[in-house]
Amino acid sequence: MTLADLDQSRSMITVRLKGARDEHRVPVTNDFWPLLHRYLDDERTDDGKPKALWVGLRRGSGEPLTYAAFEASLRYISRKAGVRVRAHMFRYLLAQTVLEVTGNLKAAQDLLGHAHISTTADLYMHADQAAMVNAVAAVKFSLDREAISTDAESTAPPLKYAFPYDATTIEELDKAAASSLLLTGESA
């Protein structure tokens, strides 16, 4: 990455990707720019030559910072801090957070630069039991509301569940739904 890869007016950075694709534009938030300018002013020397944006300060001072050098620095810092941190963890955290906060698989795919949405889905989308129960409860709630609004003149009470379950299954579903509501802090 070079200084020419920065576009502050559009809040974008161009990064080089591995594989056949050569570059990818990534949006950055406004709080990135003051940090970058501080780095440029305080840590990176400018000798007039076009250089890489990130330069090594220890070994090979002033030379472009390689991915291997970045990983080595990260390992050194993480050992000193007593934690295990790897460079790819930042990418994984970004993907997981985008999916958890927005639920937008396409946005995660575009941010990560995956050619196929299935790659993003296979690597970063996971459903645990609680998520599946919450999804079923959301569908049930939606179906119940739809049934109430479209069948207002009906005297029959709305279905509790979308399917005619036996009594044992209904009891288990009620317990799972109550447990799910307790976990999310919602009320019935």
Domain regions of the chain by residue span: 3-124, 129-184
The first and second tokens of residue 61, run together, are 């001072």
The enclosing H or E element of 104 equals: none
pLDDT of residue 186: 57
pLDDT of residue 11: 93
Supply φ then ψ for residue 14, to 5 degrees.
-100, 125
pLDDT of residue 187: 54
Query: Which residues are 153's β-sheet partners?
Result: none
The first and second tokens of residue 109, run together, are 């795919």
Strands (E), the chain: 6-7, 12-16, 23-27
pLDDT of residue 63: 75
26, 12 in Cβ contact below 8 A? yes
**CATH number assigned to the domain covering 3-124:** 1.10.443.10
Give the distance, in angstroms, between the CA of residue 168 and the centroid of all CA atoms in the same chain: 39
pLDDT of residue 49: 60
pLDDT of residue 62: 66
What three-state secondary structure class fits 64? strand
pLDDT of residue 162: 66
2, 50 in Cβ contact below 8 A? yes
Rounded CA gap, 91 and 93, in Å?
Answer: 5
Q: Taking the chain (188 residues) in consecutive chunks of 10 residues, what is each chunk's mean pLDDT? A: 88 77 83 91 70 73 78 90 89 87 88 87 80 80 68 57 72 77 57
60, 152 in Cβ contact below 8 A? no
pLDDT of residue 56: 74
Amino acid at 127: A
